[in-house]
Amino acid sequence: MNFESFADALCLPSPLEPFAPDWEGAEHVSMFVKRDDKIHPVISGNKWRKLKYAFALLTHQEMALNSQAGFRSDLNTQLPSSVVSFGGGFSNHLHALGYLCHQLNVPFHAIIRGDYTKHPSPMIQDLVKWGAQVHYVNKKTYQQRDEPTYLASLRTQFPDALIIPEGGSQMAALKGVQEVVNEIDIPFDRIIAPVASGTTLAGLTSALSPHQHAIGIGVLKGEGYLEGLVEKFLEPGLAFNLAHTSTPTHTSALSACSKSQFSINHDFHCGGYGKIPPYLKAFCENFNQTMPFEIEGVYSGKMFWALKHLLANFASTNLSTNACEKGAFKKGQTLIIVHTGGIQGARKNKIP
């Protein structure tokens, strides 16, 4: 299968579904869930969004020439000789990328933090089944994953390989994430997503109109750190958006106010990344039994847990000012909740 055929078979644009839970405060806003978890059974959510353009190896000039000639300019059928990337034993990113490489018949090398030789996780078992080469490294080596010297050694070990950063967090990812916003065909005020690497929130923010605001729910302990990750991507991301958009006036206006267009709430990490305390597990289990779609405790569960509490706080305080601070809302606003998919946390913690 080639890349274009695979992309054409995905559920895109992903559905935008009304969300009206029986939660305190929910009656004061209109909510819709952007069901990116429906994109594909394996490569769902922001994993596809962040990987889509990682394989686009054409230069901007070549893309423009192809567009003028009537060819598709968003994807490139030229594939790398192999792919290398990084993650933990339950990485949604490695799982999605391993499956994609399997479908495209591209050799994949997964550099995994820790040694799971004796007890491979379900994610690692899938990678092996799909023909990936798994390389276990210790914590010290893994911490070098972004250092030039270590990356140079990988390029020697894997000549001509496409090396994708942990989580798919790179500039190419922003264009894919921007498409989440571009697919939304209704007016909205707030867009909400979980935050870990900052790439998804940066991509969403860089595609907003000036009156809109992106709210991130931090899923790990990192106040200040997460904001820095988003800002690191944001300025280059605006230039990246400008290079690929047909509306440069909108993008130019965006660059002046983008940093005020996102905020991150740090009150709902529930103890840190991957931590799923009993109350969160119970919330996820009840949600999965009563709602028309499922969540897990690492990403989407914390986001919906936060949403429930922020709505209740909004209702009890009748907040009408500082609407961009810590995820607050105004009465009558329309909220878009991005379901970023990912099930490896559920497989690890056995949440339905």
* Model confidence pLDDT, tens digit, residues 135-190: 999 999 999 999 999 999 999 999 999 999 999 999 999 999 999 999 999 999 99
Q: Are residues 164 and 176 in the same domain?
A: no
The C-alpha torsion from 187 through 199 and 261 to 305, rounded to 10°, is: 70
Q: What is the pLDDT of residues 107-116, one digit of tens each?
A: 999 999 999 9
CA geometry: angle 287, 270, 143, nearest 5 deg: 120
Q: Residues 24-31: what's their mean pLDDT?
A: 96
Range of the domain at 187: 3-45+170-349
Say if CB 84 and CB 38 are below 8 A apart. no
Same domain, 178 and 265: yes
What integer pLDDT is reported at residue 344 of this predicted model?
62
- Final residue belonging to a domain, choices 138, 168, 198: 168
Percent of the chain surpassing pLDDT 70: 81
Q: How far apart are CA 339 and CA 299, in angstroms?
A: 9
| CA atoms of 116 and 336, how far apart (whole Å) | 38
* Burial 221-246, CB ≥16 within 10 A → b, else e: ebeeebbebbeebbeebbebbbebbe
- Burial class for 24, CB neighbours closer than 10 Å (0-12, 13-18, 19+): middle
pLDDT at 62 over 50: no
56/148 same-domain check: yes
Whether pLDDT at 59 is above 70: no
Kindly report the CATH number assigned to the domain that includes residue 284: 3.40.50.1100
In this structure, are 39 and 72 located in the same domain?
Answer: no
- Do 216 and 307 belong together in one domain? yes
The count of domains in the chain is 2
Does this model's pTM top 0.95? no
pLDDT digits (tens, 9 = 90+) for 281-316: 999 999 999 999 999 999 999 999 999 999 998 877
Please check whether residues 192 and 247 belong to one and the same domain. Answer: yes
What is the structure's pLDDT at 152?
Answer: 97
**Pair 218, 178 in one domain:** yes
**Looking at residue 236, what is its pLDDT?**
55
Of 317, 238, 232, 307, nearest to 268 (Cα)?
A: 307
**Burial label, 264 (beta-carbon count in 10 A; 0-12, 13-18, 19+):** buried
Confidence category of residue 1, pLDDT binned at 50, 70, 90: confident
Residue 86 to residue 38: CA distance in whole angstroms = 25
Average pLDDT, the chain: 86
Radius of gyration of the chain (CA): 20
Q: Provide the CA 29 distance to its chain's centre, in angstroms.
A: 25
Asked if 114 contacts 85 with a C-beta cutoff of 8 angstroms, the reply is no
Question: 302 and 175 share a domain?
Answer: yes
Residue-wise pLDDT for 240-255, tens only, equals: 554 444 333 334 334 4
If asked whether residues 59 and 79 sit together in one domain, one would say: yes
Is the domain of 34 the same as that of 56? Answer: no
Lowest mean pLDDT of 25-29, 260-264, 321-325, 340-344, name the range.
Answer: 321-325
266-283 average pLDDT score: 95
Using CB atoms within 10 A of its CB, is residue 285 exposed (0-12), middle (13-18) or buried (19+)? middle
Would you say 104 and 6 are in contact if contact means Cβ atoms under 8 Å apart?
Answer: yes
* Residue 250 pLDDT: 39
- Where is the domain boundary, 135, 168, 201? 168
User: What does each C-alpha distance from 61 to 5, 73, 235, 242, 246 come to in angstroms?
Assistant: 24, 10, 22, 14, 15
Position 346 confidence tier, pLDDT thresholds 50, 70, 90: low
Domain end among 168, 202, 229: 168
